[in-house]
Amino acid sequence: MPLHVLCLLVLAIAALVALGLLRHGELPAALFWALGLGLIAAMASVGAAAFAGLEAARGPHLFLTGLAANVGSFGLLLAGLFSFFLRLPGTLGLLVAALAVALLIAVGIGVVPTFGLGMPAIAAIGLGLTGLVGLRIRPRAATWLLAGVAAAVLAEAGRNGLMAGLPIHPLDLYHLLLALAVLGFGLTARHA
Protein backbone atom coordinates (compact mmCIF):
# COMPACT_ATOMS: atom_id res chain seq x y z
CA MET A 1 0.00 0.00 0.00
CA PRO A 2 1.53 3.36 -0.99
CA LEU A 3 2.30 5.73 1.87
CA HIS A 4 0.00 8.39 0.37
CA VAL A 5 -2.93 5.99 0.70
CA LEU A 6 -2.04 5.06 4.27
CA CYS A 7 -1.72 8.70 5.35
CA LEU A 8 -5.07 9.56 3.77
CA LEU A 9 -6.68 6.61 5.56
CA VAL A 10 -5.21 7.85 8.86
CA LEU A 11 -6.74 11.27 8.14
CA ALA A 12 -10.12 9.74 7.27
CA ILE A 13 -10.15 7.66 10.45
CA ALA A 14 -9.12 10.67 12.56
CA ALA A 15 -11.96 12.71 11.04
CA LEU A 16 -14.46 9.92 11.75
CA VAL A 17 -13.23 9.66 15.35
CA ALA A 18 -13.60 13.44 15.69
CA LEU A 19 -17.14 13.17 14.30
CA GLY A 20 -17.87 10.54 16.93
CA LEU A 21 -16.86 13.03 19.63
CA LEU A 22 -19.77 15.26 18.56
CA ARG A 23 -22.44 12.98 20.02
CA HIS A 24 -23.26 15.37 22.84
CA GLY A 25 -22.54 18.63 21.01
CA GLU A 26 -24.89 21.56 21.15
CA LEU A 27 -26.61 23.03 18.12
CA PRO A 28 -25.74 24.93 15.98
CA ALA A 29 -22.03 24.42 16.74
CA ALA A 30 -22.26 20.62 16.36
CA LEU A 31 -23.70 21.01 12.85
CA PHE A 32 -20.81 23.20 11.77
CA TRP A 33 -18.24 20.88 13.37
CA ALA A 34 -19.89 17.98 11.51
CA LEU A 35 -19.83 19.90 8.22
CA GLY A 36 -16.11 20.63 8.40
CA LEU A 37 -15.04 17.26 9.78
CA GLY A 38 -17.39 15.34 7.46
CA LEU A 39 -15.97 17.05 4.38
CA ILE A 40 -12.44 16.23 5.51
CA ALA A 41 -13.41 12.59 6.09
CA ALA A 42 -15.02 12.39 2.64
CA MET A 43 -12.05 14.07 0.94
CA ALA A 44 -9.57 11.75 2.65
CA SER A 45 -11.58 8.60 1.91
CA VAL A 46 -12.03 9.40 -1.77
CA GLY A 47 -8.41 10.59 -1.93
CA ALA A 48 -7.19 7.24 -0.62
CA ALA A 49 -9.12 5.52 -3.41
CA ALA A 50 -7.67 7.94 -5.98
CA PHE A 51 -4.09 7.43 -4.79
CA ALA A 52 -4.67 3.66 -4.70
CA GLY A 53 -5.25 3.82 -8.45
CA LEU A 54 -9.03 4.11 -8.81
CA GLU A 55 -9.15 6.47 -11.77
CA ALA A 56 -12.85 7.29 -11.26
CA ALA A 57 -12.04 8.78 -7.82
CA ARG A 58 -9.61 11.42 -9.11
CA GLY A 59 -12.23 13.98 -10.18
CA PRO A 60 -14.35 13.63 -7.04
CA HIS A 61 -11.19 13.84 -4.92
CA LEU A 62 -10.21 17.16 -6.50
CA PHE A 63 -13.75 18.48 -6.03
CA LEU A 64 -13.90 17.34 -2.39
CA THR A 65 -10.45 18.79 -1.72
CA GLY A 66 -11.65 22.24 -2.80
CA LEU A 67 -14.92 21.83 -0.93
CA ALA A 68 -13.17 20.75 2.28
CA ALA A 69 -10.65 23.58 2.00
CA ASN A 70 -13.27 26.29 1.52
CA VAL A 71 -16.66 25.21 2.84
CA GLY A 72 -15.14 22.84 5.43
CA SER A 73 -12.79 25.43 6.91
CA PHE A 74 -15.64 27.98 6.91
CA GLY A 75 -17.78 25.46 8.81
CA LEU A 76 -15.00 24.81 11.34
CA LEU A 77 -14.61 28.53 11.91
CA LEU A 78 -18.34 28.97 12.48
CA ALA A 79 -18.29 25.96 14.81
CA GLY A 80 -15.52 27.50 16.87
CA LEU A 81 -17.32 30.83 17.06
CA PHE A 82 -20.62 29.25 18.10
CA SER A 83 -18.92 26.90 20.58
CA PHE A 84 -17.38 29.74 22.52
CA PHE A 85 -19.27 32.98 21.94
CA LEU A 86 -22.83 31.74 22.24
CA ARG A 87 -21.88 30.88 25.81
CA LEU A 88 -21.28 34.52 26.69
CA PRO A 89 -23.90 36.02 29.02
CA GLY A 90 -27.19 37.29 27.66
CA THR A 91 -27.39 38.58 24.13
CA LEU A 92 -23.70 39.49 24.01
CA GLY A 93 -22.78 36.02 22.73
CA LEU A 94 -25.50 36.10 20.11
CA LEU A 95 -24.37 39.56 18.99
CA VAL A 96 -20.71 38.50 18.73
CA ALA A 97 -21.64 35.34 16.80
CA ALA A 98 -23.97 37.27 14.46
CA LEU A 99 -21.30 39.89 13.76
CA ALA A 100 -18.73 37.15 13.10
CA VAL A 101 -21.09 35.35 10.69
CA ALA A 102 -21.88 38.63 8.91
CA LEU A 103 -18.16 39.38 8.58
CA LEU A 104 -17.45 35.91 7.23
CA ILE A 105 -20.26 36.21 4.69
CA ALA A 106 -18.90 39.62 3.66
CA VAL A 107 -15.45 38.07 3.19
CA GLY A 108 -16.97 35.18 1.24
CA ILE A 109 -18.79 37.39 -1.24
CA GLY A 110 -15.84 39.73 -1.63
CA VAL A 111 -17.15 42.81 0.18
CA VAL A 112 -14.29 42.71 2.70
CA PRO A 113 -10.78 42.35 1.28
CA THR A 114 -8.80 39.28 2.33
CA PHE A 115 -5.41 40.54 1.14
CA GLY A 116 -4.83 37.35 -0.82
CA LEU A 117 -5.63 34.97 2.03
CA GLY A 118 -7.74 31.94 1.22
CA MET A 119 -10.52 30.61 3.43
CA PRO A 120 -8.25 28.05 5.17
CA ALA A 121 -5.87 30.84 6.27
CA ILE A 122 -8.77 33.05 7.37
CA ALA A 123 -10.23 30.10 9.29
CA ALA A 124 -6.88 29.39 10.98
CA ILE A 125 -6.53 33.04 12.04
CA GLY A 126 -10.14 33.20 13.22
CA LEU A 127 -9.94 29.91 15.11
CA GLY A 128 -6.64 30.95 16.67
CA LEU A 129 -8.15 34.21 17.90
CA THR A 130 -11.25 32.34 19.07
CA GLY A 131 -9.05 29.92 20.99
CA LEU A 132 -7.12 32.73 22.65
CA VAL A 133 -10.31 34.51 23.74
CA GLY A 134 -11.85 31.14 24.59
CA LEU A 135 -9.14 30.48 27.18
CA ARG A 136 -11.16 32.75 29.51
CA ILE A 137 -14.52 31.16 28.63
CA ARG A 138 -13.78 27.43 28.26
CA PRO A 139 -10.07 26.83 28.94
CA ARG A 140 -10.06 23.08 28.25
CA ALA A 141 -11.87 23.37 24.92
CA ALA A 142 -9.78 26.41 23.95
CA THR A 143 -6.58 24.49 24.61
CA TRP A 144 -7.71 21.72 22.25
CA LEU A 145 -8.76 24.32 19.68
CA LEU A 146 -5.35 25.99 19.81
CA ALA A 147 -3.65 22.59 19.51
CA GLY A 148 -5.78 21.82 16.44
CA VAL A 149 -4.97 25.19 14.88
CA ALA A 150 -1.25 24.69 15.58
CA ALA A 151 -1.35 21.26 13.93
CA ALA A 152 -3.24 22.69 10.92
CA VAL A 153 -0.70 25.50 10.52
CA LEU A 154 2.17 23.00 10.76
CA ALA A 155 0.37 20.80 8.21
CA GLU A 156 0.19 23.68 5.77
CA ALA A 157 3.86 24.52 6.38
CA GLY A 158 4.77 20.89 5.74
CA ARG A 159 2.74 20.74 2.55
CA ASN A 160 4.45 23.84 1.26
CA GLY A 161 7.89 22.32 1.81
CA LEU A 162 8.88 24.40 4.83
CA MET A 163 9.87 21.19 6.62
CA ALA A 164 11.77 19.77 3.67
CA GLY A 165 14.49 18.23 5.84
CA LEU A 166 12.13 15.59 7.19
CA PRO A 167 12.28 12.09 5.65
CA ILE A 168 8.63 12.11 4.59
CA HIS A 169 6.87 13.39 1.49
CA PRO A 170 5.33 16.85 2.13
CA LEU A 171 1.85 15.61 1.19
CA ASP A 172 2.07 12.71 3.63
CA LEU A 173 3.28 15.03 6.37
CA TYR A 174 0.37 17.34 5.57
CA HIS A 175 -2.19 14.54 5.90
CA LEU A 176 -0.72 13.22 9.16
CA LEU A 177 -0.56 16.66 10.78
CA LEU A 178 -4.07 17.42 9.51
CA ALA A 179 -5.19 14.21 11.23
CA LEU A 180 -3.87 15.63 14.51
CA ALA A 181 -5.66 18.91 13.77
CA VAL A 182 -9.05 17.26 13.22
CA LEU A 183 -8.64 15.29 16.44
CA GLY A 184 -7.95 18.58 18.21
CA PHE A 185 -11.10 20.04 16.68
CA GLY A 186 -13.13 17.00 17.71
CA LEU A 187 -11.87 17.32 21.28
CA THR A 188 -12.70 21.02 21.18
CA ALA A 189 -16.28 20.19 20.23
CA ARG A 190 -16.43 17.54 22.94
CA HIS A 191 -15.35 19.94 25.71
CA ALA A 192 -17.00 23.16 24.47
C-alpha dihedral sign at 41, 45, 50, 55:
negative
Q: Are 163 and 170 in contact (CB under 8 A)?
A: yes
Please give the DSSP secondary-structure letter assigned to residue 86.
Answer: T
Please name the residues in contact with 98: beta carbons below 8 A apart, sequence gap of 6 or more.
none
Please give the DSSP secondary-structure letter assigned to residue 185.
Answer: H
Please name the residues in contact with 118: beta carbons below 8 A apart, sequence gap of 6 or more.
69, 70
pLDDT at residue 31, as a whole number: 85
Helix residue ranges, H only, the chain: 3-20, 29-51, 58-67, 73-85, 92-108, 119-134, 139-159, 170-191
In angstroms, the CA 96 to CA 129 distance is 13
Q: How many domains does the chain have?
A: 1
What is the reported pTM?
A: 0.88
Q: Are 78 and 101 in contact (CB under 8 A)?
A: yes
**pLDDT by 10-residue block (mean), the chain, 192 residues:** 93 98 83 93 98 97 92 90 75 72 74 79 94 94 98 94 89 97 97 91
C-alpha dihedral sign at 126, 129, 132, 134:
negative
pLDDT at residue 111, as a whole number: 79
Q: Are 176 and 6 in contact (CB under 8 A)?
A: no
pLDDT at residue 88, as a whole number: 60
Q: Which domain holds residue 22?
A: 3-191
Give the three-class secondary structure for 56.
helix
